[in-house]
Amino acid sequence: LIKPEVVLYGEPLDDTVWRGAMAAVSSADMLIVGGTSLSVYPAASLLEYFMGKRLVLINKTETPYDSRADLILRGPIGEVLAAAVPE
């Protein structure tokens, strides 16, 4: 059986990885989140741990966290990042 190094839908998250993610998010000054509707839990709940100064959301559609964002960039993440970072 070959399994990719990702968590597939319905699989439990590794507790050590999850605690590390919570610690990283809670200590960040700025958080940039892109390419997600922020509607799939528990991953979407990571934003509840963010206490930093700037939240940037990049997504094609609205998210439940738009009202908390300091900057929202609408569009496909690939296009938004390509425009932000010249070759």
| Structural domain boundaries enclosing 28 | 15-84
- Residue 47's pLDDT is 93
- Residue 11's pLDDT is 82
In a domain, residue 9? The reply is no
- Residue 41's pLDDT is 84
In a domain, residue 8? The reply is no
Burial class (CB in 10 A: 0-12, 13-18, 19+), 57: buried
- Residue 42's pLDDT is 83
In a domain, residue 10? The reply is no
- Residue 71's pLDDT is 97
In a domain, residue 1? The reply is no
Q: What does each C-alpha distance from 35 to 8, 59, 75 come to in angstroms?
A: 17, 5, 9
Predicted TM-score (pTM) of this structure: 0.82
Q: Please give the tally of structural domains in the chain.
A: 1
In a domain, residue 46? The reply is yes
pLDDT tens, N- to C-terminus, the chain (87 residues): 787 777 777 888 889 989 999 999 999 999 999 998 898 888 889 999 999 999 999 999 999 999 999 999 999 999 999 998 877
CATH number, domain containing residue 27: 3.40.50.1220
DSSP assignment letter at 36 = -
